[in-house]
Amino acid sequence: MKVGIIGSGGREHSICHALYKSKKVKEIFCFPGNAGTSKIANNIEIDLNDFKKIKDFALEKKISLIVVGPEKPLVDGIVDYFENTKIKIFGPNKLASQLEGSKIFTKKLCEKYNIPTAKFGIFENIEESNFFIKQTKFPLVIKADGLASGKGVYICENKNEGEIAIKEIFGGKFGLAKNILIEEFLEGEEMSFFVVIDGANIQNFETAQDHKRVLEGDKGKNTGGMGAYSPSRLINKNLEKKILTKIINPTIDGLKAMGCKYKGFLYAGLMIVNDEPFLIEYNVRMGDPECQTILPKLKTDLLDVIISCCDEKLSDLKIDWHRSKSLCIVVCSKGYPDDYKKNIIINNLNSIKFENYEYCYHAGTKIKDNEIYAIGGRVLNFVCLSDSFKESRKKIIEKINSLKWNDGFFRKDIAYKVIDE
């Protein structure tokens, strides 16, 4: 089988690597891919907004399956576009993708189906938003409604921070903003909970703990993710049951009531408060860097998982996992998440030796004249599976230090709550 993968990040490299290991996959095309995917797949420069070009290329090359990595093509309706072709495409359709495309859509769904989430208000302009926060207790959370690459969320400790957040969102920092969401601040611990769905059947797809803040100790600005570990230290059978019965199942049932089948990965960003789950937000794809952390643990052929979903036969498949502890650290360009230099050479990467269950997934990289260059904020994802998170982190830090890349930085405390506390 020939497979196409849409996206260029670490998530897509890890998906590419997992499918590359499948004996059933003959050839992989990445749109556009990165320096890492170029070693195991064909990178194709193509406008991801031009669905016709992607479809025409897939038909020409006899690609049987398209896997969509990032959220934007899903929210823009790429699955619907491929609906009447012979090409299978993995991911939710445009309506289902509103779970991520509009935080307000999701909040209203939660309200209708009694899904536990933070109390919230929806505001249409700066004046009414500022008027509201003057009368509200802090801290509170202010969110851009649409897609923001994981960065459109402000945790505000006082009125001044709230006014800045409101001004930036309505000022277009994350694109055109018609509405914003202001939520109560939930005191607890975050967890990423993943499932895979075939339209009717749901199977768990592991848990992880992301680290969003740029600085150690979870300080500083929000990022797309500085690292993760899996499984989450919080997960247990009782909590898992609560998440499925109180959050995941009502969501899927709510979409069904709209005439919408959900197919693909679903990522619930949760806040666990006194062993009770609250939905923070949904993502309609695998997380990044959670995907890089979780997929190396997967024993079952990823292609079998994806095809079972596309064919609505997920109930026939048993998904098996390595029970190891997986940890990922993201190496970023200095300056991220603000301005950073691009086209910076990474010299020593090819000299680093990786043992079994050690991986390096590329994100913001390109290859030119056999040299690897950093072109993004998040550049490399180092992953290790071992018997303990402490051992995994130690091995990864040794690998990153041996890279001797002075233009990058990383957090040395990933999984500190499970290792150091």
- The alpha carbon dihedral of 170, 174, 180, 182 has a sign of negative
Determine the pLDDT at residue 148.
Answer: 67
Determine the pLDDT at residue 204.
Answer: 97
The verdict on whether omega for the bond into residue 92 sits within 30 degrees of 0, i.e. cis, is no
**CA gap 415, 421 in Å, rounded:** 10
DSSP string, 156-219: ESSHHHHHHHHHHHHTTBTB--S-EEEEEPP-SEEEEEEEEEESS-EEEEEEEEE--EEETTTE
- Residue 129's contacts (CB-CB under 8 Å, 6 or more residues apart) are 123, 142, 166, 170, 180, 182
Common-topology check for domains 2-91 and 325-419: no
Q: From residue 395, give the alpha-carbon distance in Å to each of 13, 81, 276, 352.
A: 21, 44, 34, 12
Which residue intervals of 329-381 are DSSP H helices?
Answer: none
**CA gap 259, 78 in Å, rounded:** 18
Beta bridge mates, 204: 195
CATH architecture of the domain formed by 2-91: 3-Layer(aba) Sandwich (3.40)
Predicted model pTM: 0.93
**CA gap 288, 355 in Å, rounded:** 23
Determine the pLDDT at residue 150.
Answer: 61
Look up the CATH superfamily of 325-419: Phosphoribosylglycinamide synthetase, C-terminal domain (3.90.600.10)
Locate tokens 């823009």: which residue?
76
- The answer as to CATH 1.10.287.70 being correct for domain 125-178 is no
Q: pLDDT digit of tens for each residue in the chain (421 aa)?
A: 999 999 999 999 999 999 999 999 999 999 999 999 999 999 999 999 999 999 999 999 999 999 999 999 999 999 999 998 999 999 999 999 999 998 899 999 999 999 999 998 899 889 989 988 888 889 999 988 877 666 678 889 999 999 999 999 888 888 777 888 999 999 999 999 999 999 999 999 999 999 999 999 999 988 999 999 999 999 999 999 999 999 999 999 999 999 999 999 999 999 999 999 999 999 999 999 999 999 999 999 999 999 999 999 999 999 999 999 999 999 999 999 999 999 999 999 989 999 999 999 999 999 999 999 999 999 999 999 999 999 999 999 999 999 999 999 999 999 999 997 6
Determine the pLDDT at residue 46.
Answer: 94
Query: What fold is seen in the domain 189-316?
Result: D-amino Acid Aminotransferase; Chain A, domain 1 (3.30.470)
| Per-domain residue ranges of the chain | 2-91, 125-178, 189-316, 325-419
Determine the pLDDT at residue 105.
Answer: 94
The two most distant CA atoms of the chain are separated, in Å, by: 61
Q: From residue 145, give the alpha-carbon distance in Å to each of 24, 36, 139, 178, 336.
A: 40, 33, 19, 8, 23
Strand 325-333 and strand 344-346: the pairing is unpaired
Which helix (H) or strand (E) covers residue 123, if one does?
Answer: strand 120-123
**CA gap 287, 377 in Å, rounded:** 17
Determine the pLDDT at residue 11.
Answer: 98
